[in-house]
Structure 1
Amino acid sequence: MPTSLRALPAVPAVLAGVLLLAACGSESASPGGDAGRARGDGGAVGVEAVCPSGFSQYGRVAASAEPSAGSRPSGAPTPLPLPSTDGTVEGDVKVTGLYAWGDDSGCEADFSADLAVTNRGTEKATYTVTVGFFSASGSIVDHVEQTVASVGPGRTVKATVGMGTSLGDASEVSNVKVEKVRSVPADETPSASGPCPASGVHVYADEGDAAMGLRVVGLHLVNCGTRPYRLDGYPELELLDEDHDTVDGVRILHGTDRISTGIGGAGGPQPVVLRPGEAAEATLAWRNTTGFGDPVHAPYVRVAARPGARPVTVMPELDLGTTGKLGVGPWEKDETFRSDAGVTPRPTAAP
């Protein structure tokens, strides 16, 4: 599955990394020097460096032995220079520091980077940031992807992203780049589990699959409310480009059979009634063939599960080439789904 088709809620696809958030103007838990701790007004915030959230502070110390005062790890990283500004800024995200966490620090993280996420829009947004850690030769050591939730308009949130188990030799890391930034309105953020939204349903996209130019992504809906949820037809879709503008010139086909066969989503719609804890799925399918004309890339899709439903914006990264077609299958009950006992139900309006 290529990185371009990675969807926001699909946490298992990303490697170990966590963003530690702090609102602009408040003390940041980011490690290192002033570049990682600048307040919104430009002043420095003197905060003790801490191991990035999600990594054990003394993970490199034997669990059976409490470190003595003389041997206790420092808990502090080693600041590394950012060799250039190339790639340290992408959209609303800027890298402000790079740090190495050696054995003497006690922290399980190998490296971490300080980020500043600035919402230049007019509404609260949730950001998905992909960061790459690179060697001096430019080869990738690790990719880390994580979500920065609910950044208010005009606000800057500081974050720390940590790198643990790496794809390459962690000792070679000397640079970090913001590889991709995606943002959706906070009230349209997809979710696969957790507290039940006001709509009474979780809606999200999976990682999908790709083979020989054919792309297939599943849309999923889980009834986390307390009443039955009725579906009858196809999800309503709006394609958006990187600037969140509507993408024109793409035909949304009901059914996937005109894209390919044997991939699901080819039958006609049937009424679906989901009891609390049950789920449904629909299939998106397209080809990324490129011929004459300009290829179309639509990273965002606004999904309304049924007419009048509150939309959710997913990120299937539609690389439609010049085909001009996207197939969508009808909602079907997902008989394989097992509800998450940790989901907090919320009463829903009458269906």
Structure 2
Amino acid sequence: MRKVTSLLPPFAAVLLLTACGSEQAGTPGAAAPASGTATTAPSVDGVRITSVTIPSGTPAPSSDEFSVHADPLPSRDSGISAAYEVTNTGTGALTYTILFDFTTDAGAVMGNSHETVRSVDPGATVRGTVRLGVPAPGASRVTRVKVSRVTKVPAAEAPPASGECPASGLRLTADDGDAAMGLRVVGLHLENCGKRDYPLDGYPLLELLDKDLAPVQGVRIVNGSGDISSGTGFDEPARPLVLKPGESASSGLMWRNTTESGAAVNVPYVRVRAQQGADPVTLTPHLDLGTTGKLAVRAWTRPSK
């Protein structure tokens, strides 16, 4: 699964995920053939950039402690690609989501790409390549490729790939959320992609997990708004639903990131069950709970039309 987000206008950069190894663009106006140059960039949570590819005739790249650097490239087709590898040093199969940043020499991010590498077995290494295509006219030159963030969840609890229906017949996902003046809301979405009706009543069940997937203590999970904010729909009572095949329900998480006395709490992972007895799905909403110690949950409802 690939999610690409550009920090420039939509035409500013095209990021493509290729198969293992390096491929050259086969479109008119593409850069001249390129070659890969090995790097010594350090691993970030098991993910390491192993080489960069730049157009032939330009100086070889160098690396610093955090990213892989290439000297300025022509503005027509950057020719930059980064080969990477994912190594699972844990004891169970993991699914990785990696944020790659494509930046200028000064560190300004010109584009980024979320890449998901599924079901990496313990001790296994999986390789891939990320490519930067044609930048917009006048865009700043991209000279660095960086592993910006890595999240990893048990493979059996990873959200399904786009278009995939889990064995449970339920597809549970989270959206990108919304933030305004310290108030945060992340939507949860449940789709019955199976062949049987699914009765649903109440609130999703949550377990908050830290970066090591261990339980987070000291945060109170409340059904409804918990007085965090009014007029959000979180105080609507739970009602029994029956999701027929193809139908969906929505819930949500709400919190404030207020920070006062004490240590701020950040929760990268949330293990979610649609209800008691349902299969768990581990999501990565990155909850910045501040020092509030409270997370509100909305009851399952049918999506607004």
| TM-score, normalised with respect to structure 1 | 0.73
Task: Please tell me the residue identity of whatever aligns with 2:26.
Answer: Y
Q: Which residue matches 1:230?
A: 199
Structure 2: distance between partners of 1:11 and 1:125? 19
Structure 2: distance between partners of 1:328 and 1:10? 29
Match of 1:250 among 210, 219, 223: 219
Q: Which residue matches 1:96?
A: 50
Structure 2: distance between partners of 1:168 and 1:231? 52
Contact 1:184 1:313 in 2 (8 A): yes
Match of 2:27 among 22, 42, 59: 59
State the 1:97 CA deviation. 1.1
Equivalences, count = 281
Structure 1: distance between partners of 2:134 and 2:160? 26
The answer to whether residue 118 in structure 2 is matched with residue 149 in structure 1 is: yes
Q: 1:248 to 1:317 in 2, by over 3 A?
A: same
Contact 1:17 1:145 in 2 (8 A): no
Q: Which residue matches 1:77?
A: 34
Q: Which residues in structure 2 correspond to 1:239-318 (within 5 Å)?
A: 239-318=208-287
Structure 2: distance between partners of 1:330 and 1:261? 15
Contact 1:281 1:332 in 2 (8 A): yes
Match of 1:17 among 12, 15, 20: 15
Match of 2:82 among 113, 128, 133: 113
Q: Percent identity?
A: 45
The answer to whether residue 166 in structure 2 is matched with residue 209 in structure 1 is: no
Q: 1:205 to 1:59 in 2, by over 3 A?
A: same
Residue segments in structure 2 that go unaligned for 5+ positions in a row: 7-12, 57-75
Structure 2: distance between partners of 1:188 and 1:167? 39
Task: Please tell me the residue identity of whatever aligns with 1:92.
Answer: G
Contact 1:144 1:163 in 2 (8 A): no
Residue segments in structure 1 that go unaligned for 5+ positions in a row: 1-8, 22-28, 32-49, 52-56, 62-72, 337-351
Task: Please tell me the residue identity of whatever aligns with 1:91.
Answer: D
Q: 1:257 to 1:13 in 2, by over 3 A?
A: farther
> Normalized per residue, which structure has more helix?
1
Q: 1:114 to 1:263 in 2, by over 3 A?
A: same
State the 1:141 CA deviation. 2.3
> Normalized per residue, which structure has more strand?
2
Q: 1:187 to 1:16 in 2, by over 3 A?
A: farther
| TM-score, normalised with respect to structure 2 | 0.83
Q: 1:147 to 1:272 in 2, by over 3 A?
A: same
Report Cα offsets for 1:316-351 as digits up to 9, x if no partner: 110000100000000001244xxxxxxxxxxxxxxx
Secondary structure in structure 2 of the residue aligned to 1:187: helix
Secondary structure in structure 2 of the residue aligned to 1:326: strand
Structure 1: distance between partners of 2:271 and 2:177? 17
Q: Which residue matches 1:330?
A: 299
Report Cα offsets for 1:283-307 as digits up to 9, x if no partner: 1000000011111111110000010
Secondary structure in structure 2 of the residue aligned to 1:330: strand
Contact 2:228 2:256 in 1 (8 A): yes
Task: Please tell me the residue identity of whatever aligns with 1:283.
Answer: G
Structure 1: distance between partners of 2:128 and 2:2? 21
